[in-house]
Amino acid sequence: MCIKVLGDSRRRYARVGDLIVCSVKTAIPGGNVKKGDVVKAVVVRTAKEFRRNDGSYIRFDENAAVLINKDTEPIGTRIFGPVARELREKNFMRIVSLAPEVL
């Protein structure tokens, strides 16, 4: 669950590539994060469409984020589902390399 969108005090919505502060709602037993932990994450998919520089629009079926540590490296070792190409421009190369598909 998103607590805060980082970047400005009055930012209400996050887009692909934005950093957010979130709370873990469900977690698997024995994992690195526990239920209730407050962590940082980067948004990798949004259901709201966004415009690319070439004029095309892209949207996904769901909202999704990847948990990151202080060095902006992903906490987990697997990423499920496609991620947007805009993450490469924002230097989240590790997330892009772990993703099964980049759209």
Average pLDDT over residues 1-19: 92
Instruction: Return the structure tokens found at 79.
Output: 């990423």
Q: What is the pLDDT of residues 59-79, one digit of tens each?
A: 999 999 999 999 989 998 899
pLDDT tens, position by position, 16-63? 999 999 999 999 998 889 999 999 999 999 999 999 999 999 999 999
Residues, the chain? 103
| DSSP code for 94 | H
The single residue listed with the structure tokens 């698997």 is 28
Helices and strands: H and E segment counts in the chain: 2, 6
